[in-house]
Amino acid sequence: MIDPKDMAHCEEAIRHGSLSFHAASRALPKSVREPALALYAFCRLADDEVDLKADKAPAVLALQERMEAAFAGEPMDTPMDRAFAAMVRQHDMPKELPQALLEGLAWDAQERRYETLSDVRSYSARVASAVGAMMCVLMGVRDRNALARACDLGVAMQLTNISRDVGEDALEGRLYLPMEWLSQAGIDVEQFLANPKPTKAIRQMVRRLVMESERLYLRSEAGITRLPVSCRPGIFAARHIYAGIGKVIRDQSYQTITIRARTSKSRKIGLMGLSILRSASSLVMPQSAVLYAKPLEEVKFLVDAAADGKYDSRDWADQFCDAMAQLRKFDKMKIQT
C-alpha cells in the first residue's frame, strides 16, 4: 500500500500542477484515486523534469533510471518515487506503458517535429494514451476494446492540450502542429516560432485539431461503460472537463496564440454534475457498437501491452532501448556543439 504521507505529497503536487486532473480524480473511488494520483504525480514529475530544464536529454535519461529502480523495487527515496513503486507492485503494471511515456518525453528532448497528423497521434499515444492504458490497469480492466477507447481518450486530451498551447509552445521553440499543414499554408516554421501570430491559417489548424479531438472524445465514451461503475463518474469528468477546454477554444475563434483557454471553477462543477448523470444513464443505455471499433493504428502497441497475457514485449523493449540510445547520441552531439 502507498504510505499515507507519500500519498499526501502526491495529491498536493497534482492539486497545484494539474487542476483538471485533480478535479476529475475527486469522482474516483479511493481504491483507484490514490494509485491514480501516485501515477499522475510521477507522470507530472516526468513532464516537469523535461519541460522546465534547459538540458532535457539528461533529464529523460535520469527519469529512465528512476523508473527502472521503481520497477526493481528499489525506488529513489522521494515521496513520488516510493508511491509510484508501490503502485507498480500493487497493480502489476506492465513496464511497457511507462516506457512509452518516457519515449514520448525523449522525442520532446530531441526537439522532434511531426510531419503528419498521424505522427502527432503517435506522439500523443506515448505521452497521454499510455497514461489512459495505465488507468485501465489500475481499475482492473484489461479488455482490448475498453483499452482501445481509453487510448482514444488519451489522444483526444493531448490534442486538446496541443490546441490550447500553440502560442506558449511557440514561445518556447516547440511546435506540435503537423509540418505538412504549415507547408500547405505557405508558413515558414522558423518565422512563425520567432513571431507567432493568430493568423487565419493557424486558427484553421487549431480548429482541425479540436475537431479531431471531438471525434475521439465521442469514440471514447463507449469504453467508459466497460469500466467499473464506481469509476465511471471520474472518467466521464476527465472527458467532459478536457472537452470543455475545446469548447472555450471554439468560443475564442480558435485563437490560442495570445489567449490561454481556461474553464472556470463553476463550469468544472457543472461538468462534474453532468458526468455523474452520464454515469448513471450508462447503467441503462444499450451498449454502443463504437466500443468494437478498431484501435487507432498509432495506439495498438499500447493495447497489446496492457491486455492480459497477449503481448510479447521483446519487440517493444528493443524499440524503447533504441529510442534511449538515440537520445544519448543526441545529448552527446549537443555537448560537442
pLDDT of residue 161: 95
pLDDT digits (tens, 9 = 90+) for 228-280: 988 888 888 888 889 999 999 999 999 999 988 888 777 777 877 877 777 77
| Phi, psi values for residue 181, rounded to 5° | -65, -45
Which tens digit of pLDDT belongs to each residue from 59-80? 888 889 999 999 999 999 999 9
Q: Give residue 330's pLDDT.
A: 66
- List the chain residues with pLDDT less than 70: 17-20, 52-53, 283-285, 308-319, 330-337
Domain boundaries, the chain: 4-336
Task: Say what the pLDDT of residue 318 is.
Answer: 66
| CATH, range 4-336 | 1.10.600.10
pLDDT of residue 29: 85
- In whole angstroms, what is the distance from residue 6 CA to residue 102 CA? 23
Lookup: cell for 140: 482492473
- Residue type at 316 in one-letter notation: W
Q: How far apart are CA 195 and CA 244, in angstroms?
A: 28
The DSSP string of 89-119 is HHHT--THHHHHHHHHHHHHHTT---SSHHH
> Number of helices (H) and strands (E), helices first, in the chain?
17, 0
Give the number of other CB atoms < 10 A from CB of residue 144.
16
